[in-house]
């Protein structure tokens, strides 16, 4: 469903950063426990939340932990005790949380994390790419990406509703490009608290340690087997993980429904809730990208169309669960796809590129797909790079060159000595 963006003259329009959009969403979602640790470029999220708590605008317990590992552990335990919880982080912070991420998924805790994306060291970089987001691909979370500040706010509210759906109970991560969105002021609408409350009722958790009349042993050792005893039958690890995978697969329908319900109520939609398309109707080639790269592609596409090239865009919003079925359906009539990854599946290709190839495997007349790497560590992704990629992609498509070799756009090797050394070596 596509609901047009309303143009509103309204007091509820605020000019705020992406980080503050996330913080306002937490305030209006009435999170009960927040535990966080500062890291650039996410820090303003937790600073803003602290301010809300201190001013009494958010009735939450804010645990000022000593590391992101502990932030995630506090979130897990507070969620298991029945509170709505969330945190925010970036890059190294997310990597430090890693141990708790599959734990939260296995325990089916509806935690929401905001991620202001940032490159992973070494060497140090505080600027954006999507490697942190991509690296937690296999932990069993719902992973969503945003393209503007309004989307950050809207997606957060939806993320709680999705994660807390009794058919789901899976944690969710909402990502947006560090600095590009995290620190950029944009006008956006904060909804009425009453309307948000209607949309997002209080959490009814499946685990609640605070109810001491119900004695529970949560997450002790499981065996490889199902255990049968006089008291009952208990699943093995395998069954728990099966349940998680199936819940993730089935969550796509719920993600769409929650998105549509939100769009209906608040008048803002993001494509079908899984991906957003732009000028695809007559397109000869579709660009497949996420976040800042997709935003840049929108601008580049206008330039390309001025040159007579019919290019469109599919901007991926839901990365996990990967909406393969919907992508297959959407792409079945297209001939050419070009993927721009702001990440690498090191040792193979850009991750979006190979995942899309996998998703379209076996399609009749499957489209030609070529991937490029762009913008690691905050290197600007420019129109020129996108346009250059499109031309290269069209050429490769004509030749039918199918390759998994990575090609980086926007490298400045010619300005570096080591390239000369390479040339010398090659004689």
Partner 1 sequence: MVNVMDLVEEEFIYPGTRACAGCAMALIYRIALKALGPKTIITVPASCLTVLHGMQGFCTTKVSVLHTPFMTTAASASGIVASLEEKGLADEISVVAFAGDGGTTDIGIQSLSGAAERGTNFIYACYDNEAYMNTGVQRSGSTPLGAFSTTTPGGKKSHKKNMPKILEAHGIPYVATANGSYPLDIYEKFQKARKIKGTKYLHILSPCPPGWGFPPKDTIKIGRLAVQTGFWPMYEVINGKYFLSKDSQKYLDPSKRKPIEDYLKTQKRFDKITREEIKNYKQYIDDQWTEIRKRVENY
User: Stretches 12-20, 58-66, 127-135, 404-412: which one binds partner 1 (CB under 8 A)?
Assistant: 58-66
Rounded to an integer, what distance in angstroms lies between the CA atom of residue 130 and that of residue 144?
Answer: 12
Contact at 8 Å (CB) between 142 and 321?
Answer: yes
Rounded to an integer, what distance in angstroms lies between the CA atom of residue 367 and that of residue 360?
Answer: 8
With CB under 8 A as the contact rule, the residue among 2, 67, 192, 193 that binds partner 1 is 67
Q: Is the peptide bond before 379 cis (omega within 30 degrees of 0)?
A: no
50 binds partner 1 (CB under 8 A): no
81 binds partner 1 (CB under 8 A): yes
Rounded to an integer, what distance in angstroms lies between the CA atom of residue 16 and that of residue 216?
Answer: 44
Q: Which residues pair with 229 in a beta bridge?
A: 232
97 binds partner 1 (CB under 8 A): no
With CB under 8 A as the contact rule, the residue among 2, 10, 192, 210 that binds partner 1 is 210
CA-to-CA dists, residue 148 to 22, 96, 152, 284, angstroms: 11, 27, 6, 27
Say what angle helices 149-163 and 237-266 make with each other, to 10 degrees.
130
163 binds partner 1 (CB under 8 A): no
309 binds partner 1 (CB under 8 A): no
In whole angstroms, the minimum distance from the beta carbon of 258 to partner 1 comes to 25
In whole angstroms, the minimum distance from the beta carbon of 197 to partner 1 comes to 17
87 binds partner 1 (CB under 8 A): no
70 binds partner 1 (CB under 8 A): yes
With CB under 8 A as the contact rule, the residue among 100, 112, 255, 390 that binds partner 1 is 100
56 binds partner 1 (CB under 8 A): no
Contact at 8 Å (CB) between 110 and 164?
Answer: yes
231 binds partner 1 (CB under 8 A): yes
With CB under 8 A as the contact rule, the residue among 214, 365, 424, 426 that binds partner 1 is 214
- Between residues 56 and 232, which has the closer beta carbon with respect to partner 1? 232
Tokens representing residue 271 in the block: 């494509």
- Between residues 240 and 354, which has the closer beta carbon with respect to partner 1? 240
243 binds partner 1 (CB under 8 A): no
Helix intervals (H) in 14-145: 18-28, 43-54, 68-80, 91-97, 100-106, 131-135
DSSP-derived 3-state class of residue 175? strand
- Between residues 60 and 352, which has the closer beta carbon with respect to partner 1? 60
CA-to-CA dists, residue 345 to 4, 98, 150, 286, 315, angstroms: 36, 18, 30, 22, 19
With CB under 8 A as the contact rule, the residue among 1, 13, 185, 227 that binds partner 1 is 227
The site for partner 1 (CB under 8 A) is made up of: 32-33, 35, 59-61, 63-67, 69-71, 73-83, 85, 99-100, 103, 209-210, 212, 214-223, 227, 229, 231-237
């Amino acid at each position: 469903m596509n609901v047009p963006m309303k143009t509103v003259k309204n007091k509820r329009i605020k000019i705020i950063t992406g980080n503050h959009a996330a913080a306002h969403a937490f305030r209006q979602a009435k999170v009960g426990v927040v535990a966080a640790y500062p890291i650039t470029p996410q820090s303003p999220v937790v600073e803003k939340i602290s301010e809300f708590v201190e001013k009494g605008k958010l009735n939450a317990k804010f645990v000022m932990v000593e590391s992101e590992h502990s932030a995630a552990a506090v979130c897990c335990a507070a969620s298991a005790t029945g509170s709505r919880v969330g945190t925010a982080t970036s890059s190294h912070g997310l990597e430090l949380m890693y141990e708790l991420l599959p734990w939260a998924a296995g325990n089916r805790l509806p935690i929401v994390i905001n991620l202001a994306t940032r490159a992973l060291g070494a060497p140090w970089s505080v600027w954006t790419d999507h490697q942190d987001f991509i690296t937690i691909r296999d932990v069993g979370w719902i992973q969503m990406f945003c393209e503007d500040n309004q989307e950050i706010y809207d997606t957060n509210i939806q993320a709680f509703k999705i994660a807390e759906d009794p058919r789901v109970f899976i944690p969710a991560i909402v990502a947006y490009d560090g600095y590009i969105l995290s620190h950029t002021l944009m006008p956006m609408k904060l909804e009425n608290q009453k309307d948000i409350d209607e949309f997002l009722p209080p959490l009814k958790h499946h685990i609640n340690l605070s109810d001491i009349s119900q004695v529970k042993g949560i997450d002790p050792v499981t065996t490889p087997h199902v255990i049968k005893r006089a008291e009952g039958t208990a699943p093995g690890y395998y069954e728990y993980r099966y349940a998680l995978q199936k819940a993730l697969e089935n969550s796509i329908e719920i993600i769409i429904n929650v998105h549509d319900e939100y769009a209906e109520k608040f008048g803002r939609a993001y494509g079908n809730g899984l991906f957003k398309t732009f000028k695809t109707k007559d397109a000869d080639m579709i660009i497949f990208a996420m976040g800042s790269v997709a935003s840049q592609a929108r601008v580049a596409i206008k330039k390309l169309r001025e040159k007579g090239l019919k290019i469109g865009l599919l901007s991926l919003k839901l990365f996990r669960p990967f909406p393969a079925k919907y992508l297959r359906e959407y792409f079945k009539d297209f001939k050419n796809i070009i993927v721009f990854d702001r990440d690498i599946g090191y040792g193979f290709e850009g991750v979006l590129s190979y995942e899309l190839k996998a998703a379209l495997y076996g399609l009749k007349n499957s489209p030609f797909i070529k991937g490029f790497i762009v913008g690691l560590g905050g290197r600007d992704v420019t129109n020129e790079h996108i346009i250059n990629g499109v031309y290269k992609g069209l050429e490769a498509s004509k030749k039918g060159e199918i390759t998994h070799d990575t090609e980086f756009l926007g490298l400045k090797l010619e300005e570096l000595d080591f390239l000369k050394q390479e040339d010398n070596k090659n004689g």
